[in-house]
Structure formats: structure tokens, C-alpha cells
Amino acid sequence: MKRARLDNFLRTRLDINRRDVRVLLARGCVKVDGVLATEINQVIDQFSHISLDDEVLQAYQPTYIMLNKPAGIVSATRDEKHTTVIDLLDCDDKASLHIVGRLDYNTTGLVLLTNDGSWSSRITEPDQKVSKRYRVTLEKPLTPEYTEAFAAGIYFAFEGITTRPAKLTILSGHLPEGHVAEVELLEGRYHQIKRMFGHMDNKVVALHRFSVGNLELDASLQPGESRALTEHEVNNIK
């Protein structure tokens, strides 16, 4: 349930009619988040704590997790052949979680998981313009032409679209590990970064996502490890 009217919830949950709902509210039997409910059209959601006298009718809690995804792990909730990001978690409610922006099989780094659909939509919908930043290691050297091409957007003939402007920062001159860049995207198309560099005839050797919006991957998390987000991180990710 995302958002619904209180009376509809009570009718379904208790198998009663609308008149009975009015009686319960008039008697002060129903509380929502600890407050007496008086209006049948009060809006609730999946995380509203709802009680009838001493009986709890709903008490789901939102969960927000960051995971440092290793290579060779599938961004899926279930897979018959491969280990998934859900399999790596150690929490009781992991079966209720979904992935907020997937990573490819061999891409590493920050993956977010939650049971809060409204929160994940605010992060993944393109119109929200929540950036994702990646560190990319490439097969060939980088030149200023890459930065210009990414800023202009690159045409994907298969979909018939041009990518949104992306920020590319060349780091190769400052790092010992080879041809390296940081890429900041405001969208997440299929294999987007690999295809953008492929357009420039340069193969991606390694790809690592280190931030989503204002949230950076916790440096203390080893590959495969996870932790719950703080309230501040949840509320200020954008």
C-alpha cells in the first residue's frame, strides 16, 4: 500500500462496512501514529502505525540500506544461478526490499535498497535530477574531446535518443592506475557509461559508483558489506 484512505483500510482489514468504521472512530477506538483518528477520509500509507484499542493493525517500519556491491553480484531480488545483492544482506525484512538503481554484474560500489517506494521514486525518476557519480578505468588515454562529447550528449542510435549532458572529469594525470575519469550522470540508461565510451572507441575496464546525490559510499564498508542509512542521509540524499 502506498497511500490510501483510513476507512478503506479498516473496512478491508476488519471486514466491516463504512457505518461500522464511523462507529469505531466516534468511540475513539482507532489511533494513527499514536493520535486518535476522527476522519474517515484520513490519508495513511504503508508506514502509518494503526491500532484498534490495544490491537496493532499495521506497524511496518521503513528500511533504508547502503551496500558496497562487489563485482560478480546480480542487482536483483532473486536469481536461480547467481548471488544477488539481497543475498548479501543480513536483516530480517530483506524480502520486502527493492533496489534503488541497479548496477551491472561487474560494476562495483554504492547500491541502495529500501521498502519505501516513494523514497526510491524520488531518487530514480529522471525529472528529479539526482546525480550518480562513477569512477571509470579505461583501456585508452582520455582527451579533452571526451569532456566536450559527454557535455553535449551522445546519440544512441538503437533507442533514437541523445543522452542528457554528463560531466566528465579526467583524472589520469593524477592517478597511477591508468586512464581514469569520473562521470556524473542525471539518468541511468542501459549500460550507459560503457556505451558512451564505446561511442568514443574506448573500452571500460572497471566501473565503480561512489555516490548517489549527496550520499557517498561509506569508505569503511568492505565489498559485500552494508549498513542502515541514518535519518539525515535518508532525508538529505538529494
- pLDDT, residue 106, reads 94
Nearest to 132 by CA among 175, 193, 69: 193
Domain of residue 176 covers: 64-232
Residue 156: pLDDT band (50, 70, 90) is very high
pLDDT, tens digit (0-9, with 9 covering 90-100), for 76-87: 988 889 999 999
- Give residue 56's pLDDT: 94
Q: Are residues 114 and 223 in the same domain?
A: yes
Q: Is the pLDDT of residue 125 over 80?
A: yes
pLDDT of residue 211: 97
pLDDT at 147: 95
Query: Is the domain of 70 the same as that of 47?
Result: no
- Residue 104 catalytic? yes
Mark whether 223 and 121 lie in a shared domain.
Answer: yes
DSSP letter for each residue of 97-130: -EEES---TT-EEEEEEES-HHHHHHHHSGGG--
CA–CA separation, 163 and 155 (whole Å): 6
Domain end, chosen from 17, 37, 58, is at 58
One domain for residues 119 and 203: yes
Catalytic residue among 20, 79, 87, 104: 104
Residue at 138 is within a domain: yes
All cell numbers assigned to 196: 558512451
Q: Is 77 exposed, middle or buried (0-12, 13-18, 19+ CB in 10 A)?
A: middle
Q: 3-state class of 165 per DSSP?
A: coil
Grid cell digits, residue 40: 474517515
Question: Based on the domain organization, do 227 and 111 belong to the same domain?
Answer: yes
122 and 224 inside one domain: yes
The H helix count followed by the E strand count for the chain is 6, 17
Tell me the CATH number at 28: 3.10.290.10
- Say which residue, 131 or 238, is predicted with more confidence: 131
pLDDT digits (tens, 9 = 90+) for 104-118: 999 999 999 999 988
**Does residue 164 contact residue 153 with C-beta atoms inside 8 Å?**
yes
Task: Please tell me whether residues 87 and 53 are part of one structural domain.
Answer: no
CA 58 to chain centre: 24
Q: Is pLDDT at 66 greater than 60 in this prediction?
A: yes
**Averaged pLDDT, 36-43:** 93
Q: Which three cell numbers stand for residue 180?
A: 581514469
What is the percent of the chain with per-residue pLDDT over 70, rounded to a whole number? 97
Question: What is the bridge-based pairing of β-strands 132-138 and 204-212?
Answer: antiparallel
Q: Which long-range contacts (CB under 8 A, 24 or more apart) does 20-26 make?
A: 24/52
Which of 58, 78, 99 is the last residue in one of the domains?
58
Q: What is the pLDDT of residue 154?
A: 93
